[in-house]
């Protein structure tokens, strides 16, 4: 009797127990195997949120070559718009539902010595981050989680029952005069990249992230001459002290500040407290703690604060979010408290699936036992009927299998 797995599964999940009883025991046994496959697929996969789980990975590892200041190969990973622009031109960049066919993922998992390995000249991403990117692609690579909040968003706002505040108003770009060209040249001489915020804009984006050496206090001094024009500043990996941050404090129109993996400490954040237009601050991989967060409490326009792998506590991050409407504080998916909450939730889900699986398995096993018993009864009935017929015909009753085996055994002994 040849049955495909899909057929067995169909019988298992859609037919009445009587259908199983009327079939052979082999079918009932196969249902046990099929049931385990069917039930395994029921384990829920949490939606991966691009903004809170994927974008921070790109910002921490990829934007040096694929960001707002530099977009090698036309790929910029610092915003969803940047990714979409490249994706529109190259359908192989991300193949929805197929991570292994998506160049974005393929390059991340190549051997580190491969010429196409990403991040270029960097270390391979941790397995948990690669798994997040893979899952995001396999779930459709959505930039927005539709209909339901992502698990990360739920965890970030857990226990927050205050009324939703109105969406913060968009902050208009400041109008400034053009910077002195000599001042820009002096800044470029330090190895910084200086570009207009957009074509024709007097506002500037300044990045020290692609220098051969980390930026120092001395490198930041030329910023003072273009303080009014600097709108975005990238000091990733910078080795600066409070002296250098005192120069940053002069950039009153600064809206975006990258300090990830820099030497900034709690005391240095006091110089950030006066940046009233700051909307984005990345402190990933720094030594800042709850104490330093006090300096950020007055930044009413701050919308995104990244605190992955810092000393800031979960409770402090939650308190900051609740205190300021529109602020999203990201501690990272691997923060111990975030992980505990996620694992606790997943354990509860797994327990429910396990209970359902056990119940269904027991039902399938009962069906198998019933079918086996029915078969044995039917075979006995068949043997009895044959013996009655043989008796009518004067034939010797056919010996049963166990009797034949016993006679064969006796013959070997003699």
pLDDT in tens, 5-25: 444 444 443 444 444 444 455
Are 233 and 318 within one domain? yes
Are 259 and 123 within one domain? no
Are 138 and 254 within one domain? no
Name the least confident of 115-119, 148-152, 174-178, 212-216.
148-152
Residue 409, in any domain of the structure? no
Residue 194, in any domain of the structure? yes
Residue where the block lists tokens 């990045």: 207
Name the least confident of 125-134, 152-161, 234-243.
152-161
Residue at which a domain ends, from 334, 366, 398: 334
Are 188 and 306 within one domain? yes
Residue 205, in any domain of the structure? yes
Residue 397, in any domain of the structure? no
Residue 217, in any domain of the structure? yes
Residue 411, in any domain of the structure? no
Are 217 and 309 within one domain? yes
Are 231 and 298 within one domain? yes
Residue at which a domain ends, from 308, 334, 360: 334
CATH of the domain at 225: 3.80.10.10
Provide the percentage of residues in the chain whose pLDDT is more than 70: 80
Are 354 and 300 within one domain? no
Provide the percentage of residues in the chain whose pLDDT is more than 90: 48
Q: Region 254-272: what's the mean pLDDT?
A: 95
Are 238 and 187 within one domain? yes
pLDDT in tens, 38-97: 444 444 456 788 888 898 899 888 988 888 778 888 899 988 888 998 998 888 899 988
Residue 412, in any domain of the structure? no
Are 329 and 259 within one domain? yes
CA R_g for the chain: 33
Are 141 and 67 within one domain? yes
Name the least confident of 9-23, 125-139, 213-227.
9-23
Residue at which a domain ends, from 133, 152, 171: 152
Are 207 and 301 within one domain? yes
Domain hosting 24: range is: 5-41+347-382
Are 147 and 197 within one domain? no
Q: Region 329-355: what's the mean pLDDT?
A: 86
How many domains would you assign to the chain? 3
Name the least confident of 150-164, 283-297, 384-398.
150-164
Q: How far apart are CA 260 and CA 249, in angstroms?
A: 17
Residue 291, in any domain of the structure? yes
Q: How far apart are CA 327 and CA 300, in angstroms?
A: 9
Dihedrals φ, ψ of 70, to 5°? -140, 130
């Amino acid at each position: 009797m040849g049955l495909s797995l899909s057929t067995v599964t169909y019988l298992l999940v859609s037919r009445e127990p009587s259908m199983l009883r009327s079939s052979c025991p082999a079918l009932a046994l196969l249902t046990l195997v099929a049931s385990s496959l069917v039930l395994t697929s029921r384990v829920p996969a949490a939606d991966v949120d691009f903004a809170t789980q994927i974008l921070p990975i790109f910002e921490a590892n990829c934007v040096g070559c694929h960001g707002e200041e530099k977009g090698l190969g036309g790929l910029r990973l610092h915003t969803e718009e940047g990714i979409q622009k490249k994706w529109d031109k190259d359908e192989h960049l991300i193949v929805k539902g197929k991570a292994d066919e998506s160049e974005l993922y393929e390059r991340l998992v190549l051997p580190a010595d491969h010429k196409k390995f990403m991040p270029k000249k960097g270390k391979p991403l941790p397995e948990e981050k690669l798994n997040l990117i893979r899952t995001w692609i396999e779930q459709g690579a959505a930039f927005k989680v539709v209909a339901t909040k992502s698990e990360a968003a739920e965890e970030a706002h857990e226990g927050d029952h205050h009324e939703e505040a109105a969406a913060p108003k968009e902050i208009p770009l400041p109008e400034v005069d053009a910077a002195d060209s000599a001042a820009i040249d002096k800044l470029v001489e330090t190895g910084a990249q200086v570009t207009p915020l957009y074509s024709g804009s007097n506002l500037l984006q300044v990045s020290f992230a692609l220098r051969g050496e980390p930026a120092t206090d001395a490198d930041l001094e030329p910023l003072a001459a273009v303080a009014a024009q600097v709108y975005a500043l990238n000091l990733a990996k910078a080795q600066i002290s409070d002296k250098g941050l005192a120069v940053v404090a002069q950039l009153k129109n600064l809206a975006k500040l990258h300090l990830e993996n820099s030497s900034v400490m709690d005391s240095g954040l006091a110089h950030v407290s006066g940046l009233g237009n700051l909307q984005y601050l990345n402190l990933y991989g720094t030594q800042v703690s709850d104490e330093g967060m006090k300096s950020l409490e007055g930044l009413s326009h701050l919308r995104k604060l990244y605190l992955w792998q810092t000393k800031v506590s979960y409770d402090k991050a939650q308190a900051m979010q609740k205190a300021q409407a529109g602020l999203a504080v990201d501690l990272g998916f691997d923060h111990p408290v975030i992980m505990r909450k996620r694992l606790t939730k997943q354990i509860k889900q797994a327990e429910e699936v396990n209970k359902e699986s056990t119940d269904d398995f027991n039902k399938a096993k009962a069906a198998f036992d019933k079918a086996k018993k029915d078969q044995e009864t039917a075979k006995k009935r068949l043997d009895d009927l044959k013996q009655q017929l043989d008796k009518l015909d004067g034939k010797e009753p056919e010996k049963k299998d166990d009797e034949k085996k016993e006679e064969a055994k006796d013959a070997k002994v003699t």
